[in-house]
Structure 1
Amino acid sequence: MASESPACGICDSRHISKPSTAWCFECNEGLCEECKEHHTLNKASKSHGIIPVNEFQKLPVSVLQIAESCKSHGERYQAYCHKHECSCCTKCLIEDHKNCKDITDINDVVCSIKSSNMMLQIENSMREVAENLKRIHKNRAENLLSLKLNRQKIENGIQIARQKINEHFDRLERELLKELQTIENNEKKKISKILATVERKEKEIDELQTSLALIKQHASDLQTFLVSKKIEHALMGTDSLVQSMQDNNELLDVNISLQTENSVKSVNRNILRFGDIVVNTSQGNMSIVRQKVKHAQANVAVVTKCSPDHQYEAIETKEHEKDPCFVITVKPGKDALKFGLNGQYRLCLTPSGFVLEDIDKMISKCYWPYNIVRQYGKSITEKEFAIIVGRKNVLGEGCVTFICSSRDDPDEIIRLLPIIKAKLRSAVKH
């Protein structure tokens, strides 16, 4: 904003230093109280726009830096070229725009700019952009929170998966240890049984050896013979028992070992990662309000008063994905619009009113808000669609009629209008 109070420009030119109390935008200088009074009484300057200097100081610097005179020639702007969408001084018109036909007096363009359709579109666009930014801010903040929740959920999932893996391996370990204990016990029983048999036979052999030694010393020959035969039979039985143990593989060494599953052996090679963290994107619930009219700042349209028989010929009917509209061609005539004669336009249905758009430039040319539309619908001829305006608007008072071709049906506009209004209003609310 402008912070310093400007000096009175008129007094300054007389080498008198006086603080200004007002600012004249036409003269682009400050005025003291005395000079302000003369300024408002002078015929040449009484129509100038004057505001208190404290209001002037509240204006943004970006506004104060906007020049109202031509940068190339230093002269005030006198006209506006719709073809090039630029303001022109008299020299610009001669040098750069001598072949341009769509030229309008700058005063006709700016006389009602603050209440024009362009200003309405800019304000609507600003509201839409601000609302979109709020939605984006809220959406991104929610996304940050959801990322934190995602991380916590993934961490919990990893812990649960790890716990399940641990529990699974613990169960396998318990089962394998139980099996190991069972096998060991069975093998020990077999060997213990053989040991018991061998120990009994060893004891019997020891007793026979003792008996044989005593018999040889003290028994008669007959007794020695009989006992020898008995010992011989006992030895044959023991020998048969040993042979039987050999034949039944009961004397083989028994060892137990672990044969690890291949999947377990290669677990380090096969399971290289616990999982993958995947980033997914989705459309989500956020809806962005798209501006219906592009480049509103360039939409400077000057119109004449519209008469009841002003006609537009509908040449094609199309239903667009987002804004069903009707493509039309303006018929030239004394009452025709002063821009884009014979060009193609379209009548768009919006939540706030009817908009006539330039298809190529994607800007609005005319606007009829619903609050000034008395009636819309089929005219008497049944093949026309009329918009009857009740009070002053950007086209003036009267009736604008769109003549439909045989391919088009006014009932389609009447049917679509309440649907589009409800749909777009609902989209704005959400």
Structure 2
Amino acid sequence: MACNLNISCGSCGYEDILKNAKKWCTICEEGFCGECEKYHKSLKVSRDHKMISIEDYRQIENISVNLNCEIHGKKLDLYCKKHDIAVCVVCIPSEHRSCSSSDVISIDEASKNSKQSSALFDLEGTILTTMDNVKHCIKDREIALTNVDKDEKTIRKTITETRKNLNECLDELERKLMLELKSKHENCKSKIMKILNQLKQMEKEVEKLKEQTLQLKRFASDLQVFLGTRELNQSVIKQVESLKEEIRVCTKSGMEIEIHHVICSLMKEAKQYGEIKVIETMTNLQLKDAKIDQAQIQIHGFSQNIHNVDIQLKQKFDIKGPKEPITGCIILPDDRIIIADNYGRGKLMEYNNNGQHIRDIPVSDKPYSLTLVDTDCIAVTYGGSKYLEIINTKNINSERKKVKCSSICWGISYQDQKLYVVVFRQGIVVMDLNGKTLNTINVLTEDHITTTRDRIYYTNVDRNTVHCCSMTGQEIWVFKDQSISKPRGISVDHNQNVFVVGGWSHNLTLIQHDGKDSQVLLTNRDELKYPVAVHYNKEKKIVCLGYQKGSVALYQMS
């Protein structure tokens, strides 16, 4: 078995010497032993080549990335920005004669930092979203399978109970109806099982694409990642289109029975025992938007027009208490609104979506920032008190989990069983729900934060900047514009567009997911004075704003 893992040194092999390679050159695509590796690095032409271990190469050797032109068979060493395609030297005079010199750049320049490109991030997001969609469809079909079995049991019980009131002359009618039930029940299960099996197979294919993407990202060269990202994108597109087709023709099967209306009173006149009906309706599954419309795929990510967004005032109300800025607000799944009264008497206030005060939730100190942990649970930071709590908003008298922080804690966000907390002079501290520190991301922020599955967003008040980074802290983009002064609260929509409020510019701005464009949605003309808190409810598409004078406003997005 060990021999199968060996790769021969290419340079030694040229001299008919058999020697195992210790390193693999991702540029030359050849193995090198220890001595040949030193010689390879000593040459000026190959000094900057990336070398990886043979074990790491094994992780990507079965991931096929085409590095040669499919038309001419030459190496893909150029990239045409105008046509968004990698080309070889022969392609230029034959296919790209009209392209300017600035349009055609080297493939090394085009693929530079491709591991941090939005195209790769979007590919990973698309795969995760597609997996979620497949799992969602599988769950729906499994529920449908359970329900149709329940229907069958209910009908069988109805038949049995009805049969007790009939005499023996109905035995033949009952037998026929049972046969009909069995036939239609098996047909229903057969249809569901067929689709279920197809979806499970699709899940395996998407899981395979996910694994390939992870291995490509971890071990492949920038060039391989650059080209592999595009090829894997095509595979994902095919899987999603296949999934859409399966769902388009998918129907929701159920069964019911209709007992003949004269059975009980006129048994001798009844022509049949009953009728088994299969009720088929469209499943109307709501799939997550995977954002992979081929017409919208760009070399650096997905285009999206944020200027078509419309915002309408839905409700506005004043809270009870001091007329100071509201530092935190959140809309719960059942439409309750929780507001943090940090500058007042130190409490959480609960309102309904019509602006009616429900109750005050007593807390141990002055709450600053909020995040949703579960349907009825939120996490709350207490600023200078250097701790946070997890609170059940339904049972406010239940025991609360208290987590101490090493310093002042401000903004907080929850994602995938982890809390992301802005801690003074530390940056963003990542911890589990028991308070165990998992990671510390060293960034400059002392205010609000929000997260998605694969990104962290935060504001820097002193520098008037809005930041987007990976879950490990690797910066993706920084947004700064004169329209935003003292950015505070931050939230993100389902397309990873970012809502941010300007405390001194008195406005609400929507920043495009790639940080390259923005739109001011609300200004001081909308009575937006010194806003601090903003929360976007993805399910309801509602923005909740908290600002000076103790005012809260709900806006409907479309």
The answer to which structure has the higher strand fraction is: 2
TM-score, length-normalised on structure 1? 0.49
Choose 1 or 2 for highest CA Rg.
Answer: 1
The answer to which structure has the higher helix fraction is: 1
TM-score, length-normalised on structure 2? 0.39
